[in-house]
Structure 1
Amino acid sequence: MAVVGFVGLGVMGRPMAANLVRAGHEVRAYSRGGAGRATAAGLGVPVVESVPEAVRGADVVLTMLPDTPDVRTVALGPDGVLEHLAPAGAYIDMSTIEPGAAREIAERFAAAGHDALDAPVSGGEAGAREGTLSIMVGGPVAAFERWRELLGAMGTTVVRVGDAGGGQVVKAANQLVVATHLQALAEAVVFLEAHDADVATALSVIARGLGGSTVLDRKADGVLAGDFEPGFRVALHHKDLGIVEDAARARGAVLPVTAVVGRLVQSLVLRGDGGLDHSALVALARELNGAVDR
């Protein structure tokens, strides 16, 4: 069992930290938001009052933060992880950030003698609660093997996909696939509604064929009910698609379908729906077809 510092107690971070506690690890968790700390404490997660308090004496520190600037600040900034990490301590960032930033952060930790991994996750809030996340890991083989079991307390698929930054590259690809699946689901719904089909029955049949996906399994019920309580917020997916766009441009990759879906996601954010679940693409699809979401 490890002493784990955990920074970031949002929708995903809280259940992930709770699963580490249930696995028997000694967790010291921190989040900037008081509400996040209170909710995590209610799940049985020991909460501290600062990043240094979470980091000092930890065998490994995990971060689960919204965006690249947040990770840079917490990992490398004053009173951050690198400043207070024990000599043999390791750092694992589980946020979704720019691949180049992940490589830079790993280099800084390696230069100071610390193992560092980028280990972004997929599976949404449900996967975080159930401990069934897919975790894609970039970094040295030895560091991955050392911390694979700990990561397994939060996910059922834990795979090293390459060197530093590799986890973020694969996560970016994951996010473009999820976004296009969600838009396909949205368009399938409006197509079925236009033909007065029984949408629930139709989707249940599609889910069992080649058109089936985890997106369909996890999102269809909410879409049919018009329930867009966030499991993963539109605003975060918009940020992730920006990472995809920037990383694609850097390597000269052309992603036309992703670009279109990215603009649709951006439209939801610009009209004030960034706090909804990303399945709210169906509401936009209905409006584009002259219907009002139920």
Structure 2
Amino acid sequence: MQKTGVIGLGDMGSGLAKNLIANGFETKGFDLSSDRMNAFAAMGGKAAESAGAVGEGSDAVFVMVMNGDQVKDVVFGEGGLRETMAPGSAIILSATIKPREGREVGALLDGSGIHLIDTPVSGGFPGAQGGTLTMMAAAPDAVLDTFKPVMEAVSANIHRVGTSAGDGQTVKACLQSLIGAQFSATFEAAALAAKGGVPGQVILDVFSTSSAGCGVVNNALQKIIDRQFEGTGSHINTMHKDLTISMNLGEELGVPLHTAAAAMQIFHAGKTKYPNGDNWICTRVIEEIIGAELHREEAKKA
């Protein structure tokens, strides 16, 4: 069985590690947080002393960090994966970064013999922890076939979206432009209901059984009406970053993204006012403007 590794053991990476271990893969991991490292060891993982050490002897290493600079550091920094992984092994780039950064990583790996699978994921904290993520995988078919068992351990849906580095990140940027719009529309609709005196449970019941109901909307509404704005595994920084990537790609390609731009501003307001909050905390910013809050049982004045 292939040996695996995970770099970045936060909300998403810890889920990857959990499911790799549960599926019988020997898994090494690294994170800058000692608490995360301790939790990883407790679940049966082998703690490594550095990112590069994760690559030693590993057939496949997931890189689940926050941005492109961090990806380049763990792969190409001194003692990084480019130096420690063997030819024929694979870096599975599950972090969401700019498409051009994905292409840069692929180009810098050329000639190393190390494969790059560019596969950002969707499904958030529940999907990562439950092993039900959707993967947008870009690599040659032969590479994807070789590492399919590793990817299946953490995912319910593996979509082959291209063969080149950056293809997966491009699909993810398109997806996040849509999800951002769904979020922002949900936040506004929740505030409208609050001001109109409609109980949150009524809104949830109607929305979830209508054509507008979907995982994004339903989950956001659940969190809003139960006033769960922190610690749900969906930190606002991540979505804010992803929308920045979507807007950047739109600028590069000359594509107007009117709705995504509006969503970006709502998330920017939420991140500025509540930097420690989760995605749904953007609703509180709107509620504070209108003087009403949406609760499960009845609308309340703010």
TM-score bracket relative to the smaller structure: over 0.9
Match of 2:237 in 1: 235
Deviation at 1:11, TM superposition (A): 1.0
Q: CA deviation at 1:237?
A: 1.2
- Residue 125 of structure 1 corresponds to which residue in structure 2? 125
Q: C-alpha displacement at 1:194, in angstroms?
A: 2.2
Check conservation: 2:269, 2:282, Cα contact below 8 A: no
The residue that corresponds to 1:40 in the other structure is 40
Equivalence map 1:1-294=2 (5 Å):
1-162=1-162, 163-229=164-230, 230-271=232-273, 273-291=274-292
Which amino acid in the other structure matches residue 199 of structure 2? D
Q: C-alpha displacement at 1:217, in angstroms?
A: 2.8
3-state SS, counterpart of residue 46 of structure 2: coil
Consecutive unaligned residues of structure 1, counting only runs of 5 or more, are: none
Shift of 1:292: 5.7
Structure 2 contact 195–292 (Cα < 8 Å) conserved: no
Instruction: Tell which deviates more after alignment, 39-48 or 207-216.
Output: 39-48
**1-structure distance, mates of 2:293, 2:215:** 26
1:139, 1:165 within 8 Å by CA — same for their partners in 2?
Answer: no
3-state SS of 1:12 partner: helix
Counterpart contact for 1:12–1:128, Cα < 8 Å: yes
The answer to which of 48-57 and 3-12 deviates more is 48-57
CA distance in 2, matches of 1:111, 1:238: 35
Counterpart amino acid of residue 117 in structure 2: L
**Could you report, residue by residue, the CA deviation over 1:51-81 in whole angstroms, capped at 9, with x for unpaired residues?**
2321111111111001111001011111111
8 Å Cα contact 1:16/1:131 also seen in 2: yes
Give the letter aligned to residue 191 of structure 2: V
Given the two structures, how large is their TM-score scaled by the length of structure 2?
A: 0.92
For residues 253-280 of structure 1, give each alpha carbon's deviation from its aligned partner in whole angstroms, at most 9, with x where no partner exists. Answer: 1001111110111112222x23211111
Q: Counterpart of 2:4 in 1: which secondary structure?
A: strand
| AA of the residue aligned to 1:150 | V
For each residue in 1:90-133, what CA deviation from the matched residue of structure 2 results, as whole angstroms up to 9, or x when unmatched?
11110000101111111222321221111111111111111111
Letter in 2 for 1:192: A
Structure 1's consecutive aligned runs of 4 or more residues displaced over 4 angstroms after TM superposition are none
Q: Which amino acid aligns with 1:184?
A: A
Could you list the per-position Cα deviations for residues 19-47 of structure 1 after superposition, in whole angstroms to 9, with x for gaps in the alignment? Answer: 00111111011111112111222333222
Counterpart code for 1:5 = G
> How far 1:87 sits from its partner (Å)?
2.1
RMSD across aligned positions (CA): 1.5
User: 1:260 corresponds to which letter in structure 2?
Assistant: A
1:203-242 C-alpha deviation (Å, 9 max, x unpaired)? 2221112111111232222110111124221112111111
Rounded to whole Å, the distance in 2 between the matches of 1:153 and 1:110 is 27
Deviations 1:136-186 (A, max 9, x none): 112222111221221111110111111321111111122122211111111
Paired residue total: 293
Residue type at the aligned position of 2:114? H
Identity of aligned residues (%): 28
User: In 1, are the aligned partners of 2:236 and 2:271 still within 8 Å (CA)?
Assistant: yes
Distance in 1, Cα, partners of 2:179 & 2:44: 32
Q: TM-score, with normalisation over the residues of structure 1?
A: 0.95
SS in 2 for 1:279: helix
Counterpart residue identity of residue 158, structure 2: V
